[in-house]
Structure 1
Amino acid sequence: MPQPPANSEKRATRAEVRALFSRSAIWQSWLDVEATLAQSQAELGMIPEAAAHEIMAKASLTCLDEAEIAADIAKTRAPIVSIVRILSDACDGDAGGYVHWGATTQNVVQTGRSIIMRRSHHAFMRRFNDVLLKLADLAEISAEMPIAGRTNGRHALPITFGFKVAGWIEEWLRHLDRFTSAEPRVFSALWGGAVGAMHAFGDDGPELNRRLSQRLGLYPLAIPSRAGMDYFAEYIMLLALFSATCAKIARDLYMLMTDETSEVYEALGDEVIGSSTMPHKVNSKIAVHVISLAAQVRAQMPLALEAMQPSFEGDGAHNQMISALIDQSCPLAYEMLDTFHELIDNLRLDPARMRHNLDLSGEFIASERAMMVLAPLIGRTHAHDLVHEAVAAALQTGVKLSDMLMQDPAVQAAVSRDVITAALDATTYTGLSVAMTRDMVATARQRCPA
């Protein structure tokens, strides 16, 4: 199965991920592409080796004047033309004449974006790995912590809090599979010349594509068409899908923080203020931010679907959409994930309150087990109707459900009071919550070793 990145690497800050998409970083990614192009072309005999070495030596913003580049772009309105011109002028001898040999603007721009996107993704997956391990720890400590399971906003059956978290973990692992399996499709180099058919590269074009892609840590497209934007849209779609999971979990926790429930809370410290006018308020600060950021990530999806529809063999409008989309979505998704990590890290559980809320339903929340005890003796449908009617009567009269059931002759004839009383003990009716939780914790740690 796919594995996330090693857990020993340093974590990127939000500012560091944003910096990957700064003007300087984007320009340097284009220069990296030009340097790698020259190196690969020299190997294939397409340009002189000495020219390639000179291009590689000068293809750095440390060797070029960023202000000069910016000023030239303001005149040409063609960033790659300006960078190629200034890089060519910086090269000694005739090396500058071999810069950008046979390439087109979008080859450089989109391949550069793929490089940066992959760097961002690597940081993203390290943080993804951290959260997965934190969820495993959370599930482990709460594996036996009973809580009311809720469907349609109302008490359903008893589970454990760990079981709830185990469900989140399995969903997290599905996202791991999606992200990993998408990498060969998503992180691609667009290298094929003006329209993708290798016109200027000749028979060496496919091998140039392969070597350049490999050196840049990307995957070559067999048909490097400028009109094929779906792989960028797919990555945005994966981020949007993942954001929905983050928002769902954060919203679940947010609801569990309400005064009426109060089963979890954020450990924010005494100096954090909930309201400027209501001194008693202790509001969520982290869960609400996750929900907000996740919505912003998902909001990128319509633009991604629009951007993957360029005309004919490509056009500038959709190229600009893709660039803007990547530059916005990747840092935003990382901020959301990092905030989610902060949420889990600061989450505190209140087992006593969970038990209190579970007890609000008394014996009713375990009525299914009473039904299943009676089912083999009087039939499932009859047992269901009998227990349902007993619940309604108990609610009306205030009589305990076990007492109400024992008033029924069919129940008296089928089972003893002790059996019915034991069946209606909610704390012992959590199904396989504990075992399933521990299995999922083990799976998470196996997939994501510390």
Structure 2
Amino acid sequence: MIQVSPFDSGLYQTLLSDTEAGLWLNDQAQLSAMLKVEGELAMAQAEAGLIPADAAAAIAAAAASLIPDPASLAAGTASAGVPVPALVKALKDVLPAEQARWVHFGATSQDIVDTALILNCRELIALHESRIRALIGALADLAEAHRNTLIAGRTRTQQAVPMSFGFKVAQWLSPLLRQLERLEELKPRLLKTQLGGAVGTLAAMGDKADLSGQILARRLDLACGSNWHTQRDALVELSGWLGLSTGALGKMAQDWLLMSQTEVGEIRFSNGGGSSTMPQKCNPVNAEIILAMARQNAGLVGQMHQAMLHEHERSGSSWAQEWLVLPQQLMATAVALRHGLEALQFIEINAPCMLRNLGAFNGVIYAEAATFELARSMPRDQAAQLLKDACQQAIAGDEHLFKIVARLSGVQLDVAQMQQRLLGDGATGVWLDTLLQQAHALR
């Protein structure tokens, strides 16, 4: 078999792929899902009175036991542009002619492929959801453990004001809670059957069409989707959800990379990869791969939007675009989540280093807090100008900001009191408590 993508590579499978997700994305998973749809369609049509019950039972039994070799269907897939005709022939070949004639009755290839895709997507988003929940739990524990650990808050890569490291962790956690909400909203629109026949009218099934479709949906535990051959919005919405999920993880991973730089040293991953020539290195591999998956998914979202551009009642090219794009996104999301969970098992927090970094440049990071403290006893503009002058002196010299402020204003400021005030009382503390309660409720 030709291997082009690292997702399919034996060499990269542990780094850039995911075994659990692969169970629902490989050829056999797709063929098994298609056969399940064919078998359940026959049973639904029999229950609706459209085809003989004995034929339906035989078709369902054959579909459940048939394990076709994907390679044996390759030529037929290339000829038809879709695997279903070759798969239907293989199914018919194991049945008597009188029963085989009822296989795939009134359906079209896209009905089978799309419904099979939804069955496998259901398993994959369940995997994603379970990992997001586990990640939320791990982040909630980390945030709670470090809600009183001081760290430099940074804006535009520069130190801004001190804050709680627990608050920073909560910023990683918060979008994941919203992703669970979005997923619940998406599921009713996504988890539905496709059954439209040649052009979506199900004309070949006559007056049994609606009932057959409803029964099929019930048997597959999906919503009855009727025809959405050219209405791909739910799949594009799924693509967007996958992009948002890896985007949220990518923001977290990028913070990890910056915080674990040697010169910063605020966190470290004890499972980091080494170097062939630099034995001192401990590379944050998990974070690197998460960020790569986030970038990959961000680009693929746009390609999925291209797949909405179907001509008339069905498109071969836009449909094939989905086959190229969506599996990559489903896999990339699983990979990013797995690396996130693994990284959090090995993360080491260097609180003393966080505190040490706060002291860089003679305490100028406390300038904003000091300004508002001085504004209690003088006009705000005057306080701001005084701190601006004090910061310039602190950066240029070796005197702490608060000593300079005391000399210029006569106001004594205490670093420990200032730190305690900046840890996130008030509205920040309430927000953090609420977020952690939401996270713990998911356990």
TM-score, normalization by structure 2: 0.89
Matched, 1:351 2:355: no
Counterpart-to-counterpart distance in 2, 1:434 and 1:27: 52
For residue 441 of structure 1, what is the aligned residue in structure 2?
A: 436
- Map 1:281-296 onto structure 2 (within 5 A): 281-296=281-296
Pairing 1:203-352 to 2, within 5 Å after superposition: 203-221=207-225, 224-268=227-271, 272-273=273-274, 275-352=275-352
Partner of 1:6: none
In structure 1, how many angstroms separate the alpha carbons of the residues matched to 2:37 and 2:106? 13
CA shift at 1:287, angstroms?
1.1
Partners in 2 of 1:253 and 1:82 — Cα distance? 49
Gaps of 5+ in 2: 1-16
| CA distance in 2: counterparts of 1:356 and 1:64, whole angstroms | 63
* Residue aligning to 1:378: 378
Amino acid aligned to 1:328 = Q
Bigger mean CA deviation after superposition, 88-97 or 164-173? 88-97
Q: State the Cα deviation string for residues 149-175 of structure 1 (Å, max 9, x = none).
A: 111111111111111011111111111
Alignment correspondent of 2:56: 52
Q: Tell me, yes or no, if the aligned pair for 1:370 and 1:424 is still in contact at 8 Å.
A: no
The one-letter amino acid of 1:254's match is L
Q: Is the 8 A contact 2:59 2:95 kept in 1?
A: yes
- Tell me if structure 2 keeps the 8 A contact 1:369–1:423: no
- 1:399-438 C-alpha deviation (Å, 9 max, x unpaired): 3323322334xx44xxx53xx3368743542232555434
What displacement does 1:334 show?
0.8
C-alpha change, 1:78 and 1:401, in structure 2 (3 Å) is closer
- What letter matches 2:116 in structure 1? G
1:15 match: 19
Q: Indicate conservation of the 8 Å contact 1:157/1:366, yes or no.
A: yes
CA separation of 1:372 and 1:200: change in aligned 2, threshold 3 A = same
How many corresponding residue pairs?
A: 425
Q: Which residue of 2 aligns with 1:429?
A: 422
Q: Does 1:101 align with 2:105?
A: yes
Equivalent residues of 1:263, 1:351 under 8 A apart: yes
Residue in structure 1 matching 2:158, options 148, 154, 163 = 154
**Other structure's SS at 2:153 match:** strand
Q: What letter matches 1:370 in structure 2?
A: A
Q: Compute the displacement of 1:115 (Å).
A: 1.0
Tell whether the 8 Å contact from 1:362 to 1:426 is kept in structure 2 after alignment. no
Q: Give the C-alpha shift of residue 109 in structure 1.
A: 1.0
Q: Is the 8 A contact 2:124 2:330 kept in 1?
A: yes
* 1:429 maps to amino acid: L
Match of 1:391 in 2: 391
2:42 paired residue number: 38
Equivalent residue of 2:101, what SS? helix
Contact 2:247–2:298 under 8 Å retained in 1? yes
Q: 1:170 to 1:64 in 2, by over 3 A?
A: closer
CA displacement at 1:439 relative to structure 2: 3.5
Q: Is the 8 A contact 1:162 1:434 kept in 2?
A: no
Identity rate, percent: 28
Distance 1:37 1:52 in 2: 8
Segments of 5+ residues of structure 1 without an aligned counterpart are: 1-12
Other structure's SS at 1:147 match: strand
Q: Secondary structure at the match of 1:282?
A: coil
In structure 1, C-alpha distance between the alignment counterparts of 2:134 and 2:199, rounded to whole Å: 42
**Alignment-derived partner of residue 5 in structure 1:** none
What is the rounded CA distance, in whole Å, between the counterparts of 1:73 and 1:233 in structure 2?
A: 25
Shift of 1:132: 0.9
SS at match of 1:98: coil
Contact 2:27–2:70 under 8 Å retained in 1: no
Q: Structure 2 residue aligned with 1:193, among 193, 197, 202?
A: 197
| Contact kept? 1:370, 1:423, Cα under 8 Å | no
Match of 2:3 in 1: none
Q: What is the 5 A alignment of 1:132-143?
A: 132-143=136-147
Contact map agreement 2:42 2:59 (CA 8 A) in 1: yes
**Partners in 1 of 2:179 and 2:324 — Cα distance?**
24
CA contact (8 A) 2:122 2:191 kept: yes
Between 233-242 and 197-206, the greater mean CA deviation after superposition: 197-206
SS at match of 2:204: coil
Matched letter for residue 252 of structure 1: D
Secondary structure at 2:277's aligned position in 1? coil
Matches within 5 A, 1:171-190: 171-190=175-194
Contact preservation (8 Å) 2:270, 2:282: no
- What CA deviation, in whole Å up to 9, does each residue of 1:308-343 have, x standing for no partner? 111111111111111222332212221121111111
Q: 1:255 to 1:65 in 2, by over 3 A?
A: closer
SS of alignment partner, residue 407 of structure 1? helix
* TM-score normalised by structure 1 residue count: 0.88
Mapped contact 1:363–1:426 kept (Cα < 8 A): no
Residue 26 of structure 1 deviates from its aligned partner by 1.0
- The 2-side partners of 1:240 and 1:354 are apart by 32
Q: What per-residue deviation string (whole Å, max 9, x for no partner) do you get for residues 168-197 of structure 1? A: 111111111112211111223221111112
In structure 2, C-alpha distance between the alignment counterparts of 1:65 and 1:287, rounded to whole Å: 38
Cα separation, partners in 2 of 1:194 and 1:268, compared to 1, 3 Å: same
Cα RMSD of the aligned pairs, angstroms, is 2.3
Distance 1:75 1:226, change over 3 A: closer
Conservation of the 8 A alpha-carbon contact between 2:362 and 2:394? no
- Report if aligned partners of 2:240, 2:301 keep a CA contact under 8 Å in 1: yes
